Structure 1
Amino acid sequence: MAEHYQNYVDGTWTETLTGETVETVNPASPSETVGQYQQSSAEDANEAVEAASAASDEWASTPAPERGAILRQTAANLDDRKQELTELLTREEGKTHAEAGGEVQRAIDIFYYYAEKTRDMGGTVKSASAERTNLYTKNVPVGVAALITPWNYPIAIPAWKIAPALAAGNTLVLNPASIAPGVAVAIFEALDDAGLPDGVANIVTGPGSEVGDAIISHDDVDAVSFTGSGQVGHMVYDAATADGKRVQTELGGKNPTVVSASADVEKAAAIVAAGAFGVTGQACTACSRAIVHESVYDEFVEAVTERAASIEIGPGDQYEMGPQVSESELDGTLEYIDVGKNEGATLTTGGGQPDGDRFDDGYFVEPTVFTDVGRDFRIAQEEIFGPVLAVTEVNDFDEAVAVANDVEYGLSASIVTQDHTEAERFLTESEAGVVKVNAKTTGLELHVPFGGFKQSSSETWREQGDAGLDFYTIEKTIYDNF
């Protein structure tokens, strides 16, 4: 029997006012129901915001180390349930056990990290021009934060929004994606068990078009943090900024890896394959394009095709690559594969759904490699969000950088090279918020800023590390004349 989950509002687990629920399924076996969640309304969302607003002053005045103690205990609570949450994430989102376990551990680490940051939440002391004057700054919380999170990292992304918001003294309401909200609900179970005061953090499940819109537009909300599609993100940004709210959005990507003439080709193929096909390509930082120097192009194509073809597909508890999260995501990927064929790209491996008993019901697709991809092809320009790699040949380094930058996105980029000058130039010239040398485009450290350029971000505030705290605080300058 599927687990029944409730909203968490004002310190109480509660049913939605609509009385309606929605079920999630296992994408590897869609006939299996995983969880039953509240199909909440705008009225439910408004109650959650009002609870957060009522709790705001008391939480803001709570000493930061005391807030940190609750975050620390939350991390410990999640750690105690790591195996359980790993299995839930795999069943609900489709990641492999290794990928899901890594994501759960990241959420644990994020709460531990921000728990320690609360010890250093003071401002800075400056020298005053006048005598008998203390001149210093103090960071104060923004207020009530509305958090909207996607399904592809259903515990890590909520964690890296929730933890800094609470550490800085804000209260919040989270609306997670309806496809895989179970592990996000678990964060609130951990917070509740850690002794979080009533109303400080609230979660309301249900459609973003209703619940998300309600919390974003509520007058008591001071800040909005959104991660998701570009189309929705731009609407969120416009609506929130029109109301004078502080906003950060992290959106899509079309991330390149440049393979230079000096690259170790086998190493380059391994790096690109890991970035392209890990988490079934369902990452905003996934490698979607390989831009390869003509001198190593044929060798690279052979190597990356062989790696893609060798990946074992199946349910995430047993295989190397799991399913896509839903039928609509699978259909979208298959449509782009047809687009690539029609554009004249060469399909070297994959391109369809795998055959076999274990694939009968699930949303599985083969790791796919297209070669001979023109820089203006749709599969080289548009985000696919599936395990599809477009390989483009270039004549020199300058052309490689130009092709890498010739998209509307700018989230993550990497280069594989043994030429230090090329590496340094790429770090400088790449139009991306995250740039790597001899590494895959996916994978982020939690203590440094994360965000994109161009259409990948609002280019306002970064997430994670100290930057994550910056978004949730306002600096006050104090002149204390004694």
Structure 2
Amino acid sequence: MTDTNENYVNGEWVPAATGETVDVVNPANPDEVVARYQQSGTEAATDAVEAAADAASDWADTPGPDRGAVLRDAGAILDDRKDELTDQLVAEEGKARPEAAGEVQRAIDIFYYFAEKARDLGGSLKSASGRDTSLYTVEEPVGVAALITPWNYPIAIPAWKLAPALATGNSVVLKPASAAPGPAVALAEALDEAGLPDGVLNLVTGPGSSVGSTFVEHDAVDAVSFTGSSEVGEMVYDQATDAGKRAQMEMGGKNPTVVGASADPAEAAEIVANGGFGTTGQSCTACSRAVVHEDVYDEFVDELVARAEAIDIGPGSDAEMGPQVSESERDGTLEYIGIAEDEGATLAAGGGVPAEYDEGYFVEPTVFTDVEPDYRIAQEEVFGPVVAVIEVEDFDEGLAVANDVEYGLSASVVTDDHTEAKRFLSEAEAGVVKVNEKTTGLELHVPFGGFKRSSSETWREQGDAGIDFYTISKTVYDNY
């Protein structure tokens, strides 16, 4: 019998008033129900916001080192449960086990990092014009933060929003994605066990149309942080800003890797394959376009196809690449594969469902060649293991093609030409730019965010930038 997980509101685990639940299945074996969660409505969401509002003042007044101690203890609890949480992530999201283990470790590291950052919170002393005046700034919490998180990194992204919010003294309401909410529930369990005061964190599972909208629109919510698709994120941003709230949106990507004439084709193909097929392509920073100089194009394609065909596909528990998270995600990827073929692209590898895994949500690593920059496969986010290869005559054309999309999250260049590398870093229209490295993979202590439709371009996440979003400055003139 599958256990039913409850919402976490005001320090207690409680069922939703709707009386409804939703099952999460194993994407590698959809007949297996992994867990059951509350299908909450507006009442549960409202209760969560009110609990957070009631707890906000006391938590804001808690000294930073004490807040950090709770995060540190929670990180240790997560560390003790690492194997269990890795298995949970594999079962709910489908990610390959090494990738899942890395994501759990990242969440642990984030909690430890912000536990220490909580000690350094404060402000700055300035020189006053008068002799008898102390002039300084203090950083105060914004208040109640609403966090809406996606399924593709179901423990890391909630952690990198939640940890800085709590470290800086905010209370929180959290809505994890319905496809894989379990890892976020585990974060709440760890914080509860670590002694987080009642009401400081409140977690409610359910649809965005009821839970998410209530969080965004409630008068007691002061800030909204969202990660997900551009279409949804833009609606959330409008809702939040229309209500006068601070808003931070990180959204989709159509990330390029430009391969220069000086690049080693085998090295470039390895970088693109890792960026495009890792996490089953279900990353907002995944490489979905390889923009390749004509001098190395043919050899690069051969190398990339070989790597795609060599990837071991299967359940995430024992394979190199797992399934997509749901039937709808798999079908969306297959639809884009059909669109690419209809547009005239050449299917060079993959393109279908592996015969031995037709019961799960699997898609073969797929490579398209002969792709024109204006094809939909080269313009729209697929969010699956599909790489479109575009041939260009020179570096200038490659850079122009890389920038000619409505997204701007992550971009990389593979080159031995230092001038090309420097130009790319300066001219690529992306919030994350890399040289001779895959588009995926982020350090936790530096800002993360995109340009154009990849971001609201308001606030960055992670590191000190994450702290900035959850705090507001007060300037103090103390005359004595």
- For the superposition of Structure 1 and Structure 2, which TM-score range results when normalised by the shorter chain? over 0.9
CA deviation profile, 1:274-322 (whole Å, cap 9, x unmatched): 0000000000000000000000000000000000011010000111100
Secondary structure of 1:115's counterpart equals helix
Unaligned runs of 5+ in 2: none
Q: CA RMSD in A?
A: 0.5
Give CA-to-partner distance per residue, 1:317-342, whole Å, 9 cap, x none: 11110000000000000000000100
Question: TM-score with structure 2 length normalisation?
Answer: 1.00
| CA distance in 2 between partners of 1:184 and 1:302 (Å) | 41
Partner of 1:122: 122
Deviations 1:339-361 (A, max 9, x none): 010010111110100112xx131
% identical equivalent positions:
71
Q: Deviations over 1:388-414 (max 9, x none)?
A: 000000000100000000000000000
Q: Hey, what does 2:85 align to over in structure 1?
A: 85
Query: In structure 1, how many angstroms separate the alpha carbons of the residues matched to 2:224 and 2:367?
Result: 38
Equivalent in the alignment of 1:438: 436
| 8 Å Cα contact 1:137/1:478 also seen in 2 | yes
1:64 partner letter:
G
* Counterpart position of 2:462: 464
Unaligned runs of 5+ in 1: none
Q: Using the TM superposition, give the Cα deviation of residue 132 of structure 1 relative to its aligned residue in structure 2, in angstroms.
A: 1.4
Output the CA distance in 2 between the equivalents of 1:4 and 1:16. 11
Q: Distance in 2 between matches of 1:42 and 1:3?
A: 23
Paired AA for residue 385 in structure 1: F
Which residue matches 1:182? 182
Q: Give 2:133's aligned residue.
A: 133
Q: State the distance in 2 between where 1:230 and 1:409 align.
A: 9
**What is the Cα deviation at residue 209 of structure 1?**
1.0
Partner of 1:19 in structure 2?
19
Secondary structure, aligned partner of 2:288: strand
SS at 2:454's partner residue?
coil
Q: What corresponds to 1:144 in structure 2? A: 144
Aligned partner of 1:421 in structure 2 is 419
1:261 aligned residue: 261
The aligned counterpart of 2:277 is: 277
- The aligned runs of 1:286-301 (5 Å cut-off) are 286-301=286-301
Q: How many residues align?
A: 480
Q: Which residue of 1 aligns with 2:29?
A: 29
Q: Which residue of 2 aligns with 1:380?
A: 378
**Whole-angstrom CA distance in 1 between matches of 2:375 and 2:150:** 27
* TM superposition shift of 1:265: 1.2
Aligned to 2:107: 107
1:49-448 mapped onto 2 (5 Å cutoff):
49-356=49-356, 359-448=357-446
CA distance in 2, matches of 1:451, 1:276: 19
SS in 1 for 2:138: strand
1: CA distance, partners of 2:19 / 2:227: 28
Q: State the alpha-carbon separation in 2 of the partners of residues 255 and 432 from structure 1.
A: 9
Question: Counterpart amino acid of 1:25?
Answer: V
- Contact in 2 for aligned 1:3/1:34 (Cα 8 Å): no
Deviation at 1:3, TM superposition (A): 3.0
The whole-number CA distance in structure 1 between the counterparts of 2:179 and 2:148 is: 13
The runs of at least 4 aligned residues of structure 1 exceeding 4 Å deviation read none
Q: Look up the equivalent residue of 2:104 and give its one-letter code.
A: V
- In the TM superposition, what whole-angstrom CA distance separates every residue of 1:439-471 from its partner, at most 9, and x where no partner exists? 000000000000000000000000000000000
Separation in 1, partners of 2:3, 2:230: 32
Task: Report what 2:452 is aligned to.
Answer: 454
2:285 alignment partner AA? T
How far apart are residue 133 of structure 1 and its match?
0.9
- The two structures have a TM-score, normalised by structure 1, of 0.99
- Structure 2 counterpart of 1:137, which letter? T
Counterpart Cα distance in 2 of 1:255 and 1:219: 37
Question: In 1, distance between residues paired with 2:65 and 2:473?
Answer: 19
For residue 108 of structure 1, give the secondary structure of its aligned residue in structure 2.
helix
Q: Secondary structure at the match of 2:342?
A: helix
Question: Superposed, which structure 2 residues align to 1:468-479 within 5 Å?
Answer: 468-479=466-477
CA distance in structure 2 between the partners assigned to 1:435 and 1:3 by the alignment: 44
